[in-house]
Amino acid sequence: MDASDVSDLDEQYVAGFLTFAGCPNRTPYKGIYSVPPGHAVCVSARETKISRFWSLPIGDTIHYQNQHRYEEELRDLFREAVAVRLQTEAPVIAELSGGLDSSSVVCVATDLMRRGAVPASRLTGVSFVWQKSLDVPFIRDVATHCGIECLDISTQAVPIITESQVGDAMPEPFQPLRKSIATTARQLNAKTILTGQAGDLMMGNWFDDSLQVAKSLRGFRLKRAFSEAIEWSKLLRHPVYKIGWQAFKAALPPALSPAQIYFAADGSYAPKSIETSLTTSFRERTDVSNSENYFSDSWKYAPPERRKHFRTLTTMLEVRQLQIPEPLQHLNYTHPFAHRPLVEFLMSVPANILCAPGEPRKLMRSAFSDYWPAKLRDRRSKGVFNTPWQAALRPLVKVLTGAKQLQVVEQGIVDRASVTARLERLSHGLECNEHQLRQIIMLELWLRNRASN
């Protein structure tokens, strides 16, 4: 922050970064704040103020008698979401992971181009690949189906993070990969990059969405609630009474409904442990154990069966997951699934239209299947980045375990014995709450780079 001459760390930001992977309305620099989502900074000769221009559509509901109307409106809104991002004659890049979200963006974009519905006429895919990745056959299939070139960036050659590349203004992962995309964009003279980010949330990719039962309970449709609870019970292999009890708590008024039932991670994304290495004194002075002090709570006033969805959306927006990464700030890095009319529609339709027991992405599959190649239609899950993450972290673990001093320890943020033990377990592939440990490693490297500049 050379322009502002601010160098002191904001401890609240650090606590949020290490606990939630981001911190609402704050930056790493004390006294420098970020603009809240849905707000704009208004500057006049008299004053500078922050004004809200958008709110979550918490009270909006959409009900159609004909189920096909949901499909038609989703298709129309998604085509609009992609089309407005193709208002350029320059070449366009699209991240293509082989999953349903990025593949849908690529398939719809190329369809619009073929029809001459947008000024853009050339699209190139960019994929992050690694050895034995399950995504590669689907990436190839989508590229062939759409008739586009797809460039591979190997995470063996270009890792997720390196000792010197963890962000400049703030700690961020994927810097080497983003720089590689920026190089590709320069070579192609591309100005726009499309992503599939936010697709999981918007399209109802939930393994466990059993809080839908709360809607029937709230309407005193007890027979229907019991039937729904049985369906979720069979899928999740949880007792029916447990499903019903969670739904009952969700159906309570916001002031009485315990917030924790909306915080559980979904399916395989749930960490096996919640181990943390933050010192007791740091936790106490930042009060990081109380997430309600960090995030807004407007999501609590959504219908009970949609509170989890609105909470996830709130978190995504407030920790700025969709902001443009540093290496790509000169480009139009944009997310069709975050198109505001599309978000407002999908957050207002009934939860069971988007996702049913054993049918995540239910509406998406019925609406988009005609766009996809045959192989993709049967895909149920996508590869995760665990393998490239572990490959990137291995050399960094050696650097940090052999270090005489750690910045995060010296500043009283992390307990040395705890983090050293966790680094050792990580090096042996043992459980160590890797997701949070990644944040600690990134922060340590970022602090080191900052101190050396």
Q: Mean per-residue pLDDT for 305-319?
A: 95
Does residue 394 register a pLDDT over 90? Answer: yes
Write down the mean pLDDT value for the chain. Answer: 93
Residue 267 has a pLDDT of 61
**Confidence bin at 275 (pLDDT 50/70/90):** confident
* CATH fold for domain 67-203+314-377: Rossmann fold (3.40.50)
How confident is the model over 1-37, as pLDDT tens digits?
A: 455 566 789 999 999 999 999 999 999 999 999 999 9
Token look-up 């924790």 returns 260
Q: How many CA atoms lie within 13 A of 435 on its CB side?
A: 15
Query: What does the pLDDT look like over 314-329, one tens digit per residue?
Result: 999 999 999 999 999 9
Tell me the HSE value of 31 on the side-chain side, using a 13 A CA sphere: 6
For the sheet with 332-334, list strands across it. Answer: 150-154, 123-129, 92-95, 192-194, 332-334
Could you give the CA distance from residue 412 to residue 406 in angstroms, rounded to a whole number? 10
Determine contact, residues 347/56, Cβ cutoff 8 Å.
Answer: yes
Looking from the CA of 126 toward its CB, the CA atoms found within 13 Å total 24
Instruction: Give me the sign of the Cα torsion angle 313, 316, 319, 324.
Output: negative
Q: Can you give the pLDDT at residue 273?
A: 67
Mean pLDDT of the region 240-252: 95
pLDDT per residue over 360-383, tens digit each?
Answer: 999 999 999 999 999 999 988 777
Structure tokens at 302: 């959504």
What is the separation of C-alpha 152 from the centre of its chain, rounded to a whole number of angstroms? 22
Closest CA to 87 of 322, 323, 332: 332
Give Cβ neighbours of residue 132 (< 8 Å, ≥ 6 apart). 387
Q: What are the φ/ψ torsions at residue 129 (nearest 5 degrees)? A: -130, 155
- Percentage of the chain modeled with pLDDT above 70: 97
pLDDT of residue 4: 53
Q: How many CA atoms lie within 13 A of 123 on its CB side?
A: 32
Does residue 433 register a pLDDT over 60? yes
Percent with pLDDT over 90 in the chain: 87
Q: What is the pTM of this model?
A: 0.94
Chain segment 338-362, per-residue pLDDT in tens: 999 999 999 999 999 999 999 999 9
Q: Any idea where the domains of the chain sit in the sequence? A: 1-54, 67-203+314-377
Place of tokens 């760390």: 9
Residue 114, pLDDT above cutoff 60: yes
